[in-house]
């Protein structure tokens, strides 16, 4: 990867916008908003990552940005094993309200892919936590790299930004890539009986800022 000075704030190679197209979004709960979907040439990992521009990013001093990693089971089918579906829904509305961008990153299963994630779920059902299960499969706990995200933000002329996340690694990686993350805005906490063990592991192991009540349910589910 060659450093690029012409790209503005990032230390990554240039990517460019390929297509911008308007998509009216309609969610299952009736919420509707219009997004501008943007595709790119030249992304570092060659994946088909998508940007959704919501509201007017130029209206805010620092547009709100979310890096959302693909989760087929949660985003599409509403799986309660994780919090991805509600986080995605929340992010779209919050970003649209102030203006910003949602990057939908093709990083299923924290980068290990769908089939491996489902293998990891099987191991979790046998008692391992979400990180132990990846390791037991010989895979990284979290294989995500946000270089392509930095390229997309640069191509969209997003400079200072506020990042919507509970995951400190996303902000750290972006800053290391030269992206000026101003503030971190926490997402909501969408705990259910089915995902509380997963959320607890993220808070404990990777220092996600997820405030979970120390309820009997949590204690019982966390082994
Ligand atoms: N390997 C693995 N991946 C999982 C599991 N549960 C969810 N995922 C994946 O984890 C990713 C969640 O991504 P994000 O929504 O960006 O969540 P995050 O990294 O916790 O960060 P924030 O939501 O921004 O706080 C998605 O790619 C899911 O497919 C699991 O048990 N194992
Ligand atoms: Zn998920």
Q: What residues contact 135, with CB distance under 8 A and at least 6 apart?
A: 141
Mutate to test the pocket of ligand 1, among 80, 88, 117 (most ligand atoms within 8 A of CB): 117
Name the CATH superfamily housing domain 16-221.
GTP cyclohydrolase II (3.40.50.10990)
Catalytic site includes residue 142: yes
Domain boundaries, the chain: 16-221
pTM of the full structure = 0.90
Q: What is the mean pLDDT of the chain?
A: 89
Residue 78: how many CA atoms within 13 Å on its side-chain side? 3
Note the ipTM here: 0.96
Start-to-end CA span in the chain (Å): 42
* Predicted local distance difference test score (pLDDT) of residue 212: 67
Q: Which ligand is nearest to the CA of 123?
A: 1
Cα 87 to ligand 2 centroid, rounded to whole Å: 9
- Per-residue pLDDT tens over the stretch 161-205: 999 999 999 999 999 999 999 999 998 888 888 788 777 887 877
* Predicted local distance difference test score (pLDDT) of residue 190: 83
Rg (CA), the chain: 18
Task: Scan for tokens 């197209």, then name that residue.
Answer: 21
Using a 10 angstrom Cβ sphere, with 0-12 exposed, 13-18 middle and 19 or more buried, the burial of residue 79 is middle
> CA-to-CA distance for 207 and 83, rounded, in angstroms?
16
Using the predicted structure, report yes or no on whether residue 3 has a pLDDT greater than 60.
no
- Ligand 1 pocket: which residues have CB below 6 Å? 68-71, 82, 84, 87, 107-110, 112, 117, 120, 130, 134, 165-167, 170, 187, 198, 202, 208
Average pLDDT over residues 92-119: 97
- Per-residue pLDDT tens over the stretch 65-91: 999 999 999 999 999 999 999 999 999
Binding site listing for GTP: 66-70, 87, 108-110, 130, 165, 170
**Residue 169: phi, psi to the nearest 5?**
-65, -30
């Amino acid at each position: 990867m060659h450093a690029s000075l012409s790209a503005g704030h990032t230390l990554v190679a240039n990517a460019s916008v390929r297509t911008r197209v308007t998509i009216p979004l309609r969610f299952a709960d009736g919420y509707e908003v219009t997004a501008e979907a943007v595709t790119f040439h030249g992304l570092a990992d060659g994946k088909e990552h998508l940007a959704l521009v919501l509201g007017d990013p130029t209206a805010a001093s620092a547009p709100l940005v979310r890096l959302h990693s693909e989760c087929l089971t949660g985003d599409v089918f509403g799986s309660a094993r994780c919090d991805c579906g509600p986080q995605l829904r929340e992010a779209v509305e919050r970003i649209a309200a102030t203006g910003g961008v949602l990057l939908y990153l093709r990083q299923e299963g924290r980068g290990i892919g769908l089939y491996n994630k489902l293998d990891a779920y099987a191991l979790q059902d046998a008692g391992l936590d979400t990180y132990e299960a990846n390791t037991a499969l010989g895979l990284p706990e979290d294989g995500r790299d946000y270089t392509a995200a930095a390229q997309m933000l640069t191509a969209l002329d997003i400079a200072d930004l506020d990042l919507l996340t509970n995951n400190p690694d996303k902000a750290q990686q972006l800053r290391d890539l030269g992206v000026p993350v101003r503030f971190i805005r926490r997402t909501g906490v969408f705990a259910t009986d089915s995902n509380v063990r997963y959320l607890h592991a993220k808070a404990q192991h990777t220092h996600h800022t997820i405030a979970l009540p120390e309820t009997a349910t949590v204690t019982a589910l966390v082994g």
